[in-house]
């Protein structure tokens, strides 16, 4: 028992230490300037303005929040460690990993994309506690008769303010601050809308940054950008300047809202997915870190935080839950060992000296409850959509947890018509006539 008690105490201390170490990353940080270098291999006349050899973007005060193993940045820099740091439309996250204070995310455009791009975004923890960001983006375009091949390398440092220096407060604004890159803008090429996707709980708030940029990402500050919600989504929330605020109740807010940013002939869209907190989306973990390869379907990601939860302080509940489960298993094992030690050893009945043709008398077998069996279903990877036979667990292509085809259809297909009780807000299938809680007539779907 003394050994078991020591193991339990050690487990609790390790879980508490892990949670405290994760919590230390949150708070106020200062972002240095983003140093950007372009190495151009070939750049034809149809590629647009040639990227400058070197440029920079200003930094400032940022707020860092912990979301499980990932960090989100708001303020002068808006980004999440498990998202792509590029606004290229169609750019997909193909892998995201964390291990020992190091975050890596890899993104790539699909085959056949008009502007092929690959990006690797890393955030590492230095020995002095500062954070170092590194970005490597490769472009390989074929536009008309021109070939556009270039590599963008960007670096930035994040440091905590010293205690004796007063940090200017981060002022809450309806719109995120716009960066001021040191570049000369060329012709308008697209709208940079950040983030491109977001996940909120009912009553949550997400602000967006929209600006017109040229082919090299330089902002055209004189171009006006309008932000609107898709028609028919007014019940799910409202726009306050460039911030979307979800409705307060799940019955009103739950669903997907599409936002559209437009400026003359340019247009960009973003999606906000509103749902109550779901604790079933745990990722498979192994070794000293964890690997992510998507969240349901393949997702287009913007520069500043897909699936970032607004108002979430990032409580590290996952290691606590794992520790609690291990503790319960240890206690159950200890009780089982004690019971086995106290149980008397059964005496074996003597074997008969002679064989007999008469069967030995045996008590009738106890009735066994019938067990309902269901045929096993084939499985599918929610990221690469490859099918696998029943009994498989993880996709060997990207290590994603496999799901049934029914669950995949439930994630990807639009929700059917439902009826909502006007009294309690409970949702029912379209064929239901009365509320099962208070008997109120549900009316038409």
317 pLDDT above the threshold of 50: yes
Is residue 103 within 8 Å of 71, Cβ to Cβ? yes
22 pLDDT above the threshold of 90: no
386 pLDDT above the threshold of 60: yes
pTM assigned to the model: 0.40
404 pLDDT above the threshold of 80: yes
Q: How far is CA 39 from the centre of its chain?
A: 32
The residue written with tokens 């084939």 in the block is 378
433 pLDDT above the threshold of 70: yes
pLDDT tier at 81, thresholds 50, 70, 90: very high
Q: Which residue has the higher pLDDT, 178 or 249?
A: 249
Q: How far is CA 377 from the centre of its chain?
A: 27
Q: What is the mean pLDDT of the chain?
A: 76
Dig out the tokens for 23 from the structure.
């919590």
Is residue 104 within 8 Å of 120, Cβ to Cβ? yes
Q: What is the pLDDT of residues 26-72, one digit of tens each?
A: 899 999 999 999 999 998 888 878 889 999 998 899 999 988 889 99
Which spans in 53-180 are helix H?
Answer: none
Most confident by average pLDDT, 95-104, 162-171, 408-417 = 95-104
Dig out the tokens for 239 from the structure.
């726009």
Q: If residue 155 lies in a helix (H) or strand (E), which one and from where to where?
A: strand 146-159
Q: Which residue has the higher pLDDT, 181 or 394?
A: 394
Q: What is the pLDDT of residue 5?
A: 59
Q: Which residue has the higher pLDDT, 310 or 401?
A: 401
Q: Which residue has the higher pLDDT, 91 or 372?
A: 91
Dig out the tokens for 50 from the structure.
């040639």
295 pLDDT above the threshold of 70: no
Q: What is the pLDDT of residues 245-287, one digit of tens each?
A: 988 887 788 889 999 999 988 999 999 988 875 444 433 333 3
Neighbours of 360 (CB within 10 A): 6
Find the mean pLDDT for residues 223-248.
88
> What whole-number distance in Å separates Cα of residue 432 and Cα of residue 311?
36
343 pLDDT above the threshold of 80: no
Q: What is the pLDDT of residues 106-130, one digit of tens each?
A: 999 998 887 899 999 999 999 898 9
Q: Rounded to a whole number, what is the distance in angstroms from the first to the last CA of the chain?
A: 61
> What whole-number distance in Å separates Cα of residue 258 and Cα of residue 229?
6
Q: What is the pLDDT of residue 445?
A: 56
> What whole-number distance in Å separates Cα of residue 16 and Cα of residue 171?
33
pLDDT tier at 20, thresholds 50, 70, 90: very low
Q: What is the pLDDT of residue 90?
A: 82
**Lowest mean pLDDT segment, chosen from 151-160, 199-208, 278-287, 409-418:** 278-287
**Lowest mean pLDDT segment, chosen from 74-83, 360-369, 414-423, 429-438:** 360-369
**Lowest mean pLDDT segment, chosen from 350-354, 410-414, 425-429:** 350-354
Q: What is the pLDDT of residue 13?
A: 53
């Amino acid at each position: 028992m003394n050994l078991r008690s020591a193991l339990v105490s050690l487990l609790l201390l390790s879980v508490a230490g892990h949670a405290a170490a994760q919590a230390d990353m949150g708070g106020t940080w200062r972002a240095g300037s983003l140093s950007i270098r372009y190495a151009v291999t070939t750049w034809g006349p149809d590629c647009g303005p040639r990227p400058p050899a070197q440029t920079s973007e200003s930094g400032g005060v940022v707020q860092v929040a912990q979301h499980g193993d990932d960090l989100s940045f708001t303020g002068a820099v808006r980004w999440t460690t498990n998202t792509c740091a590029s606004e290229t439309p169609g750019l997909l996250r193909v892998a995201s990993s964390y291990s020992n204070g190091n975050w890596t995310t890899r993104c790539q455009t699909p085959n056949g994309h008009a502007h092929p791009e690959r990006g690797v975004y890393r955030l590492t923890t230095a020995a002095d506690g500062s954070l170092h960001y590194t970005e490597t983006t490769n472009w390989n375009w074929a536009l008309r008769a021109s070939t556009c091949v270039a590599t963008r390398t960007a670096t930035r440092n994040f440091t905590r303010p010293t205690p004796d220096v007063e940090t200017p407060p981060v002022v809450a604004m309806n719109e995120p601050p716009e960066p001021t890159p040191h570049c000369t803008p060329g012709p308008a090429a697209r709208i940079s809308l950040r983030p491109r996707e977001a996940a909120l709980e009912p009553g949550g708030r997400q602000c967006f940054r929209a600006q017109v940029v040229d082919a090299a990402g330089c902002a055209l500050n004189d171009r006006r950008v309008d932000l609107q919600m898709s028609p028919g989504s007014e019940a799910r929330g409202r726009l306050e300047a460039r911030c979307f605020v979800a409705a307060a109740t799940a019955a009103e807010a739950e669903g997907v809202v599409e936002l559209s940013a437009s400026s003359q002939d340019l247009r960009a869209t973003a999606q906000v997915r509103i749902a109550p907190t779901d604790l079933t989306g745990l990722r498979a973990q192994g070794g000293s870190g964890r690997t992510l390869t998507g969240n349901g379907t393949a997702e287009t990601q913007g520069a500043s935080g897909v699936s970032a939860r607004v108002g979430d302080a990032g409580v590290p509940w996952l290691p606590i839950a794992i520790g609690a489960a291990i503790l319960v298993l240890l206690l159950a094992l200890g009780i089982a060992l004690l019971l086995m030690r106290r149980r008397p050893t059964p005496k074996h009945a003597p074997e008969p000296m002679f064989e007999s043709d008469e069967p030995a008398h045996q008590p009738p077998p106890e009735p066994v409850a019938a067990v309902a069996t269901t045929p096993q279903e084939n499985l599918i990877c929610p990221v690469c959509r490859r099918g696998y036979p029943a009994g498989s667990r993880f996709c060997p292509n990207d290590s994603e947890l496999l799901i049934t085809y029914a669950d995949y259809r439930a994630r990807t297909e639009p929700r059917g018509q439902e009826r909502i009780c006007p009294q309690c807000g409970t949702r029912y299938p379209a064929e239901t006539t009365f509320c099962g809680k208070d008997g109120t007539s549900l009316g038409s779907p």
